[in-house]
Amino acid sequence: MTTTQRRWPLATMAAIVTLSLVGCGTIAPTGTTRQPEVIDIEDGTGPTEPPPETQEPPKDEGRVAREVVFNPEEYAQLPTTGTAAVSGRLSMDIGGGTVIGANEGVSVAPITTYSAEAAAQALAGRAVERADPRAREYTHATRTDANGYFQLTDLPPGDFYVSGTVVDPTTGQRQIIIKETTLRNGHRTEVDLHR
């Protein structure tokens, strides 16, 4: 697989990875369980409240239409529980300094054909339509602490995208950072979300 081919799967994660699960507990860097905030790192809107059930879902205006359809059979083959853990730090180099991704969302989503499309688009600077809710059920999310560190535990094993965004203070724009990693039960994997 060429470097370019490996990077395409990264962008798909942005759509899925950037959305945290509504109704699932996540592990904060302190190790405590809490309800996640819905974070859309695709367009940098940050934390939002879930829409009331009486409202229509948010429109996907300004987003690229998905070409890859959610495949329930592909997701059904993925493990949903495990003892894997991932931790790391979110940061970005900016002209002579480093910006720490403090109190930012970090998502971990399985690498699939569906998530690969979103990751590729995100790395190209485009947001895709919001992820199918069934895909979001496989995404795990947390927030970084004040120093940019994050941790998620009790994850299933497999190949994942780990992603987060950092605001570039020179432009005010969010920059997505996506890394691929393999998680194994009983092991902690360090991921440096840095560029």
What is the distance, to the nearest Å, from the Cα of residue 82 to the centroid of all Cα atoms in its chain? Answer: 19
Give pLDDT tens digits along the chain (195 positions).
444 444 334 333 333 334 333 233 333 333 333 333 333 334 444 443 444 444 444 556 778 999 999 999 999 999 999 999 999 999 999 888 999 999 999 999 999 999 999 999 998 988 889 999 999 999 999 999 999 999 999 999 999 999 999 999 989 999 999 999 999 999 999 999 999
Tokens matching residue 175: 């920059």
Are residues 131 and 46 in contact, defined by beta-carbon separation less than 8 angstroms? no
Matching CATH number, 3-47+80-194, of 2.30.110.10, 2.40.480.10, 2.10.10.90, 2.60.40.1120: 2.60.40.1120
Report the pLDDT value the prediction gives residue 96, as an integer from 0 to 100: 81
d(CA 154, CA 161): 16
- β-strand 97-100 against 84-94: which pairing, if any? antiparallel
Closest CA to 152 of 95, 87, 105, 56: 87
d(CA 161, CA 119): 8
| Cross-strand partners of 105 | 143
The answer, as to whether pTM is greater than 0.85, is no
Report the pLDDT value the prediction gives residue 95, as an integer from 0 to 100: 84
Report the pLDDT value the prediction gives residue 108, as an integer from 0 to 100: 98
